[in-house]
Each structure stands twice: as structure tokens, then as C-alpha cells.
């Protein structure tokens, strides 16, 4: 039986390099056909000017990369009135120091940027994880419902990432929020490694819980976790059963992207090389 690549592969560009030119060159060389934009030249996507956004689109197009997602920092902030933030989880900011009051403005900007880039998915979160996530649940449901409603009118998908430092971090928490917000414009950005860090087995157990038709996007990184602290490594060699996960996604009819979010510092702290290694690993895992 001939081997073929079953799913399209992509990456968050700044995992390869803060410089888009360097990143996209390496991604294209691996055979990636998609790009997710989070930071460019040290600036968060949300802070880019229209001119910079147009430049991003042109450069990605010149390398044969479709931009499918704006990896925005929406709802990656403290929810006012919530219980204290859970200090056990490391919070990655990616040059996005925004608060609750900034969210309406950020939402407008994220939509405008997605429009300019031709991106279908706007990635969002669920507020920084509180010591009692349960008490934040209704506020999360309300915020996601409103975003999904807004996205529907403009042809976008709101992609909720299960993020270990936010209130929706595991597969079971993801299931619960998807059951509460049934709007078809809300989908899950499934991140098995984040689920693992949160203390839940991502595959097969966590994945089995998820409504497969509402997995809109998949982030790929790999780690071990000790007491909610991740130890990153090359994709497919650490704690997540990526081979099993990718086979299951294909069998269950997933047709979206596998998007690399390396996080591993790489050999001798060479992050670019680390991402290149992980990119080739991902291509191999997606080929069977």
C-alpha cells in the first residue's frame, strides 16, 4: 500500500523564527502548506498595522502558505471578580499584555485582521485559570456565545483552545463548554499536550470524550508533565501518543490542519532547528 500524507501540515510561524521570511522559508521546505500568525517581528498579531498585515499575507502567499488562523490573545486575561489565578500554571503572554477592558477592541481588531489575511479561524481562550474554574464557567459560556454569534455573520469560526493556564484546559472541560455553547461557529482548537499538562490523558481517553465534528483545528507539540510543569521535546517522542491521535483523527473524518506549536527549545537551545526537527517529525506522523 502506498504511503500518503493524510492531513495538511502547518505551523505557528514564530515557533520557527520571529522573522516571517526565515520562518516561512523553513516551513515551505518541510512541505507545510499552512501558516498560523501569532507574532511577527516581536509584535503580537493584534498589534500589527493594516500595512504589516498585508505584508504578512503577501509573504505567506509567495511561499505557498495559506493563512488559516489568527492566533489571537482574546480572553487570555483575568476575569474580573473571579477567584484568584491558579499560580501552578505558567502563563505564556507572547507580547500580549491585555486586560478584560481591552477585549471589545481586541475582538474588533482580530476580526478585521482575519478578514485581511483571509483566515477562517480566530483562536481564543477562556480567561486565566482560577483556583475555582467552575465559578468562571458561565462568564466563559456567555463570552464564547457572543463571539460565535459575531463570527457567524462574517463567515469566521471561533476556535477555543484548551489551554493549560486557562479555565478550559482538559478534554472534559472542553466537552462541557461545547455542550453549553452549541453555536456551530464555535469549534475546538484541540491541543493534546495542554490536556496532558492539565493532568488528563489526552489520547485515547480525552479525545474519546470530544464531539469529533466540533474539532476545528489541532495544535501539535509534545511534552512530559510533572506536577503541571511541562518538559518539552521533539514531537512524537515524548508524552503524547501522536501517531495514535493522528490516525484516529483521520479515521474520524477530521479534514483540518495539524499545526505545529513547537515549544521545545531545540538541541543546544536552537529553537529554529527544534522546529525544523518537529516539522519533519509531524510530516512523517501524518504520512501512512
Query: How high is the pLDDT of residue 58?
Result: 98
CB 266 within 8 A of CB 274: yes
Place of cell 490542519: 257
- CB burial readout 228-253, b (16+ within 10 A) else e: bebebbbbbebbbbbeebbebbeeee
pLDDT at 185 over 90: yes
The stretch 7-25 carries a mean pLDDT of: 98
Query: How high is the pLDDT of residue 91?
Result: 86
Calculate the average pLDDT of the chain.
97
Query: How high is the pLDDT of residue 273?
Result: 98
Place of cell 479515521: 251
Beta strands in 42-192, from DSSP E residues, in sequence order? 43-44, 66-74, 121-124, 157-161, 186-190
- Beta strands 8-12 and 222-226, pairing class: unpaired
Question: What backbone phi and psi angles, to 5 degrees, belong to 259?
Answer: -110, 120
Instruction: Report, in this order, helix, strand and coil percent for the chain, each rounded to 5.
Output: 45, 20, 35
Query: How high is the pLDDT of residue 266?
Result: 98
Interval 243-252: pLDDT, tens:
999 999 999 9
Interval 251-272: pLDDT, tens:
999 999 999 999 999 999 999 9
Interval 276-287: pLDDT, tens:
999 999 999 999
CA 168 to chain centre: 13
Interval 65-99: pLDDT, tens:
999 999 999 999 999 999 999 999 988 878 778 99
User: Is 253 in a helix, a strand, or coil?
Assistant: coil
pLDDT at 48 over 80: yes
Interval 168-182: pLDDT, tens:
999 999 999 999 999
Query: How high is the pLDDT of residue 122?
Result: 98
Query: How high is the pLDDT of residue 2?
Result: 82
- Domains in the chain, start-ordered, CATH in brackets? 8-285 (3.20.20.150)
Is 49 exposed, middle or buried, given 0-12, 13-18 or 19+ CB atoms closer than 10 A? exposed
Query: How high is the pLDDT of residue 90?
Result: 86
Query: How high is the pLDDT of residue 97?
Result: 82
Query: How high is the pLDDT of residue 92?
Result: 85
Query: How high is the pLDDT of residue 57?
Result: 98
Query: How high is the pLDDT of residue 95?
Result: 73
The model's pTM is: 0.98
Is 61 exposed, middle or buried, given 0-12, 13-18 or 19+ CB atoms closer than 10 A? middle
Amino acid at each position: 500500500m502506498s504511503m500518503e500524507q493524510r492531513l495538511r501540515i502547518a505551523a505557528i510561524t514564530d515557533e520557527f523564527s520571529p522573522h516571517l521570511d526565515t520562518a516561512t522559508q523553513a516551513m515551505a521546505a518541510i512541505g507545510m502548506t499552512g501558516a498560523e500568525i501569532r507574532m511577527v517581528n516581536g509584535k503580537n498579531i493584534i498589534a500589527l498595522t493594516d500595512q504589516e498585515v498585508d505584508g504578512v499575507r503577501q509573504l505567506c502567499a509567495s511561499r505557498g502558505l495559506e493563512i488559516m488562523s489568527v492566533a489571537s490573545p482574546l480572553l487570555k486575561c483575568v476575569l474580573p471578580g473571579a477567584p484568584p489565578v491558579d499560580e501552578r500554571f505558567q502563563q505564556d503572554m507572547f507580547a500580549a499584555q491585555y486586560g478584560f477592558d481591552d477585549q471589545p477592541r481586541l475582538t474588533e481588531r482580530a476580526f478585521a485582521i482575519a478578514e485581511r489575511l483571509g483566515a477562517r479561524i480566530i483562536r481564543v481562550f477562556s480567561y486565566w485559570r482560577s483556583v475555582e474554574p467552575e465559578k468562571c464557567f458561565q462568564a466563559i459560556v456567555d463570552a464564547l456565545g457572543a463571539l460565535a454569534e459575531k463570527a457567524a455573520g462574517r463567515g469566521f469560526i471561533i476556535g477555543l483552545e484548551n489551554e493549560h493556564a486557562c479555565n478550559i484546559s482538559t478534554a472534559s472541560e472542553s466537552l462541557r463548554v461545547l455542550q453549553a455553547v452549541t453555536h456551530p461557529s464555535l469549534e475546538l482548537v484541540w491541543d493534546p499536550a495542554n490536556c496532558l499538562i492539565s493532568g488528563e490523558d489526552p489520547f485515547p481517553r480525552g479525545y474519546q470524550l470530544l464531539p469529533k465534528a466540533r474539532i476545528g483545528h489541532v495544535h501539535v507539540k509534545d511534552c512530559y508533565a510533572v506536577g503541571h510543569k511541562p518538559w518539552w521535546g521533539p514531537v512524537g517522542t515524548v508524552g503524547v501518543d501522536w501517531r495514535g491521535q493522528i490516525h484516529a483523527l483521520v479515521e474520524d473524518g477530521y479534514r483540518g490542519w495539524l499545526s505545529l506549536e513547537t515549544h521545545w527549545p531545540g538541541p543546544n537551545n536552537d529553537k529554529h532547528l527544534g522546529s525544523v526537527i518537529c516539522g519533519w517529525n509531524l510530516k512523517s506522523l501524518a504520512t501512512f
